[in-house]
């Protein structure tokens, strides 16, 4: 669906935009595990001149298959407080929106100065809840995708491009 070169070019643009918007401030990037780890690694290297630190938030919203359950389980929480800090969520993909909506609610209880969302991919066709995506890489059609950190039953995260899984419903 998207070549490694297309993804890299877009990630550089997102990084530049974030660097521009947060100029003169400090930033906490919160990587939503596991799917966002490669995106996060490339993104932070594209954000020039903004002092930043990183945190990881582990969530499980899918089983081994491809259907959203709407249930979000925290498997790893932030290592440090983000109170009064500017937080930017780094998400691989916003599908129904349920995961990031839940994480935004959770984050607000931690009283950061601000919270924004950066997502590499968005599938608006499956939206079930309206969520603001402040920085978006690509809007994609309703296909189950893998690669660049995204898995299918824990496989294919290492694929350097974004690919479509045909007959993903057969994953169960």
Q: What is the three-class DSSP state of 77?
A: coil
Residue number with CB closer to ligand 5GP (19 or 136): 136
Pinpoint the alpha helices (H) of 75-120: 98-108
List % helix, strand, coil for the chain (3-state, nearest 5).
25, 35, 40
Q: How far is the CB of 84 from ligand 5GP (least distance, A)?
A: 27
The CA-based angle 168-164-45, given to 5 degrees, is 125
Q: Give the shortest CB-51-to-ligand 5GP separation in angstroms.
A: 27
Task: For residue 2, give the nearest of 91, 92, 62, 67 by alpha carbon.
Answer: 92
Locus of tokens 């608006």:
124
37 vs 119, 134, 149, 170, CA distance in Å? 12, 19, 6, 26
The answer to whether residue 84 is catalytic is: no
Give the nearest distance from C-beta 23 to ligand 5GP in angstroms.
29
User: In this complex, which beta carbon is closest to ligand 5GP, that of residue 27 or of residue 99?
Assistant: 99
Annotated active-site residue in 77, 95, 105, 151 = 95
Q: Cβ closer to ligand 5GP: 82 or 121?
A: 121
Shortest Å, Cβ 162 to ligand 5GP: 9
Q: Which is nearer to ligand 5GP, 86 or 92 (CB)?
A: 92
Q: Is 13 helix (H, G, I), strand (E, B) or coil?
A: helix
What residue ranges bind ligand 5GP (CB under 6 A)?
A: 35, 61-62, 68, 91-99, 144-146, 150-152
Catalytic residues: 95
């Amino acid at each position: 669906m998207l070549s490694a070169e297309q993804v890299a070019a877009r990630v550089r643009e997102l990084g530049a935009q974030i660097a521009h918007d947060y100029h003169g401030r400090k930033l906490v990037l919160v990587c939503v595990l596991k799917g966002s780890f490669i995106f996060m690694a490339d993104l932070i290297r594209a954000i020039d001149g903004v002092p930043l630190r990183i945190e990881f938030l582990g969530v499980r919203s899918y089983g081994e298959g491809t259907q959203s359950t709407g249930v979000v389980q925290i498997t790893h929480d932030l290592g440090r407080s983000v109170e009064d800090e500017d937080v930017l969520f780094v998400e691989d993909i916003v599908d129904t929106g349920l995961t990031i909506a839940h994480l935004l609610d959770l984050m607000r209880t931690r009283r950061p100065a601000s919270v924004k969302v950066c997502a590499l991919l968005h599938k608006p066709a499956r939206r079930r809840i309206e969520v603001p995506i402040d920085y978006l890489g690509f809007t994609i059609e309703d296909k189950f995708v893998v690669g660049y950190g995204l898995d299918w039953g824990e496989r294919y995260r290492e694929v350097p491009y974004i690919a479509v899984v045909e007959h993903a419903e057969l994953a169960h």
